[in-house]
A and B are shown apart, each in its own frame.
Chain A
Amino acid sequence: MIVAELKPIEEIISTIESYERVLIASCGTCVTVCMAGGEKEARELASLLRLSPSMENTEIRVVNLQRQCDREFFEAADEDAAWADAVLSMGCGAGVQFMAERYSKPVIPALNTRFIGVNRDVGYWTEVCQGCGDCVLEKTGGICPVARCSKSIFNGPCGGSSGGKCEINPDTDCAWQLIYDRLKTLGRLDRLYETIPPRDWSLSRDGGPRRIRRSDVSTEVK
């Protein structure tokens, strides 16, 4: 899922304090599950903002949207959005932008969208995927060298791997150590003799904004 976290409250206030009517829009999918932008967080944020002396003249409403990355769900927010001077979106960056396309008024992010990750424990998430567009997990024992190696190197480890940890941070596991351990468990250390060739990074961010069009599910695709 997409993992996000709430911006510092003083930063949020600085972006909305000049408005008289602010609509907070929660999102019911990824950011709810990662406890950053669901109904609970939206209501708590609203309660806190109402306490702020600099927000004394600002009226706040909350609307709970099931998803901010599909436009049909915005209908539930249309009425309140028409009332508001600005919308504070608690969606990920995608939700904020999609809302901004719909409403001709400022749509402001309440969250910092951090990464695609997994929930390892209550309140603990880690990054595992960068959406690079050409998955190599089959070659690396199910551990991603792009997202989990600080250098994203394909034939590791580098010289900065020490005691199973990465040189950038002693709390960070060396992805290539993990890959080695995993392949050893699988009895497939021979995979490490295969050199992974340079890949086509245009499938990742380097190719500019990406899009997917599926002609099999749309009759209108050109």
Chain B
Amino acid sequence: MTIVLAGKSPQKARVEEILRSEGFECVTAASPRDAKELSRDFPVILLGNSAVDLFLSDDVFAFRKISGLGAGEPAVFLLDYGSDTPDYVLPLVLRRAVSTALSKRPVFILARSVRSGIPGVEKLYFDARNAGAAIIKYEELSIQRSDDICEISVSDGIYRYTLGTPLLVDCAIEEDKEAIEYAKALRIHTYGSNRINEDRWFLSPGRTSRRGVYFLDTGLIVSDRLKDTIFSIADELRRSPDAQQETRAHVDASKCAFCYTCFRVCPHAALEPDGSAAAMKVIQPLCTGCGICAAVCPAKAIGLHGIGHIGIEPGSAGKTLAFCCENSAAIAADTAFRDIDADIVRIPCGGSLDGESIAAALKTYSRVIVAVCADEACRHFDGSVRSMKQVEKIKQAVGKLGVDPGRIGFVRVSHAAPAVLRDAAGR
């Protein structure tokens, strides 16, 4: 089996050696364009070499460090990543936090997302808490700097916490710019300042948003895990891609307006222009059937095999309809709706829901609930955010019609937390 290596890394020779020992033949892509062409026929491993550093965020604070900090002044470690904290950074920060806390200094760890599942990290969390470090997960962050103090304010949307520190430790990553050029050519999902989305918890190690394209950032991956990650990729590639029967999208070329909307929004790079038909077409092996393309298509030219138009049975007054993402809410729904009179429509992703379906459901049901995954857990990246925007749009429109927008509920749930869904339904 042939595998394409793209991008640069000092570990490239080692990666090649491991792949060869696993029976793969390695080909090197000469340029992003070359990688794009080769990716049509072969799996690709994109190598990156980002640098990671814990540094004091400002010279002032460095000066204060030298001139001596007050004994009670806290140290704040900031993990402000758009997506998950990279698995290399977290143990590094937790270890540093433990040693700082043990030197009798108050320690705060502020994180946009708290992650687990990294070998050994649970123990480090435990050690950090035992040493007295406070770990705060936030959604909003603001930092005000003055000469000798940094006012940090964080909020989870409900509570706000403010603290002052002369010692803010930013855990910054310097991106591998070349890897990002490759990522763009390969059309894999990036976020924030073009960070490559390589490590959401539900993705196997190295997986990206696009099937058959893997990302190994040798600057961020702990060296002894490199081999395991490559083994895991090799295992996945050896498995038959069609082992799983999945719902997939298809384009009706006669209706397609060739507007490129689906091409731009597909998180999995599964659409490409078919010049001879003057229409888009779905690259079937890449499609995951999330239905985001079908929901955004302005010409209604995209359907999902296995799922027709989201079917809504004529309901009755007093009844609830719940659109449930099959990755979370649909699993929780069995328990959540045990004794609530509700109809459930399984949707492949929050992003597959369009405004029409919500409005149509309101015609016959007294209450409509849209229940999707947490934003950062959406395996189609922005599906949950898309569904929230559809809900907001329809709420605003029905409000103008004199219909109570409170009849539409929106909730982010975990498959393991049916009570959240139940509360939303009972409201």
Which residues from chain A sit less than 8 Å from chain B, CB to CB? 8-10, 13, 28-29, 32-33, 35, 38-41, 43-44, 46-48, 50-54, 119, 121-122
B-side contacts of A54, CB under 8 Å: 401-402
Complex formed: what's the CA distance from A54 to B398 in Å?
A: 12
A47-B257 in contact (CB<8A): no
Tell me the minimal C-beta distance from A66 to chain B in angstroms.
9
Tell me how far the C-beta of B315 lies from the nearest C-beta in chain A, rounded to whole angstroms: 14
* Closest B residue to A41 using CB positions: B298
> B394 on the interface (CB 8 Å rule)?
yes
Q: Nearest Cβ distance between residue A81 and chain B, in whole angstroms?
A: 21
Bound-state CA distance A121–B261 (Å) is 9
A–B pairs, 20, beta carbons within 8 Å: A32-B259, A33-B298, A39-B300, A40-B297, A40-B299, A40-B300, A40-B356, A41-B298, A44-B355, A47-B359, A47-B363, A48-B359, A50-B363, A51-B362, A51-B398, A51-B401, A54-B401, A54-B402, A119-B260, A122-B264
- Are A38 and B401 in contact, CB atoms less than 8 angstroms apart? no
> Is B385 located at the chain interface by the 8 A CB criterion?
no
Q: Mark B279-321, 1 if CB is under 8 A from A, else 0.
A: 0000000000000000001111000000000000000000000
> A38 to B264, Cβ gap below 8 A?
no
* A48 in complex: contacting residue of B259, B297, B299, B398, CB < 8 Å: B398
Given known pairs A32-B257, A50-B363, the reply for A44 and B401 (CB within 8 Å) is: no
CA distance A122 to B389 in the complex (A): 14
A106–B356 CA distance with the chains assembled, in angstroms: 26
Instruction: Check if A47 sits within 8 Å of B401, measured CB to CB.
Output: no
User: Which chain B residues have a beta carbon within 8 Å of chain A's beta carbons?
Assistant: 255, 257, 259-261, 264-265, 297-300, 354-356, 359-360, 362-363, 394, 397-398, 400-403
Instruction: Report the bound CA distance from A44 to B402 in whole Å.
Output: 17
B359 touches A52 (CB 8 A): no
Chain A residues contacting B300 (CB-CB under 8 Å) are: 38-40, 43
Which residues of the partner chain B approach A32 to less than 8 Å between Cβ atoms? Answer: 257, 259, 298-299
Separation in Å of the B317 CB from the closest CB of chain A? Answer: 14
Does B354 lie within 8 Å of A40, measured CB to CB?
A: yes
* Pair B257/A48 contact, Cβ less than 8 Å: no
Give the shortest distance, in Å, between A22 (CB) and chain B (any CB): 15
B360 touches A9 (CB 8 A): no
Q: Are B356 and A38 in contact (CB under 8 A)?
A: no
Q: How far is the CA of A38 from the CA of B354 in the complex (A)?
A: 14
| Complex interface: chain A residues within 8 A of B402 (CB) | 52-54
Q: Which residues of A contact B403 (CB under 8 A)?
A: 51-53
Residues of A within 8 A of B298 (CB): 32-33, 35, 38-41
Please give me the residue from chain A that is nearest to B359 by CB atom: A47
Q: With A and B bound together, what is the CA distance between A122 and B259 in angstroms?
A: 10
A38, B299: Cβ atoms under 8 Å?
yes
For B362, what are the chain A residues with a Cβ–Cβ distance below 8 Å?
A: 51
**What are the nearest 4 A-B pairs in CB distance?**
A47-B359, A38-B298, A33-B259, A44-B356
Using CB atoms, name the residue of chain B closest to A1.
B259
Using Cβ atoms and an 8 Å threshold, which residues of chain B touch A38? 257, 298-300
B19 CB to closest chain A CB, in angstroms? 37
B299 touches A39 (CB 8 A): yes
Is the Cβ of B356 less than 8 Å from the Cβ of A9? no
Q: Nearest residue in A to B398 (C-beta to C-beta)?
A: A51
Residue of A nearest to B393 (CB): A44
CB–CB B261/A35 < 8 A: yes
Provide the residues of chain B in CB contact with A121, threshold 8 Å: 264
Set of chain A residues within 8 Å of B260, measured between Cβ atoms: 119
Minimum C-beta distance from A70 to chain B (A): 16
Collect the chain A residues with CB atoms within 8 Å of residue B299's CB.
28, 32, 38-40
Q: How far is the CA of A28 from the CA of B256 in the complex (A)?
A: 9
A28 touches B257 (CB 8 A): yes
- Rounded to whole angstroms, the CA-CA distance of A50 and B360 in the bound complex is 8
A119 CA to B359 CA, complexed, in Å:
28
Residue of A nearest to B401 (CB): A52
- Chain B CB count within 10 A is highest, among A9, A32, A121, for A32
Having A47-B360, A53-B401, A122-B264, one finds 6 other A-B pairs with CB under 8 Å, namely A9-B400, A13-B401, A38-B298, A50-B363, A51-B398, A51-B403
Once the chains bind, are A43 and B356 in contact (CB under 8 Å)?
yes
CA separation between A8 and B360, bound complex, in Å?
19
Q: Given A28-B299, A122-B265, is A44 in contact with B257 using a C-beta cutoff of 8 Å?
A: no
In the complex, A47→B356 CA distance in Å? Answer: 6
Q: For the complex, what is the distance from the CA of A29 to the CA of B362, rounded to whole Å?
A: 30
CB distance from B404 to the nearest CB of A (A): 11
A19 to chain B, nearest CB (A): 17
Output the nearest chain A residue to B355 by Cβ-Cβ distance: A44
Q: How distant is the Cα of A48 from the Cα of B399 in the complex, in angstroms? A: 11
Q: Which A residues are CB-close (under 8 A) to B297?
A: 40
In the complex, the answer to whether A44 meets B259 with C-beta atoms within 8 Å is no
Complex: A130 Cα to B356 Cα, angstroms: 34
A33 to B259, CA, bound (A): 5
Output the least CB separation between A13 and chain B (Å).
7
B355 / chain A contacts, CB cutoff of 8 Å:
44, 47-48
Q: How far is the CA of A134 from the CA of B305 in the complex (A)?
A: 50
Of chain B, the residue at the smallest CB distance from A122 is B264
Return the chain A residue nearest B362 by Cβ: A51
Q: Which of A28, A39, A48 has the most CB of B within 10 A?
A: A48
Q: Which residues of B contact A53 (CB under 8 A)?
A: 401-403
A47 to B398, CA, bound (A): 10
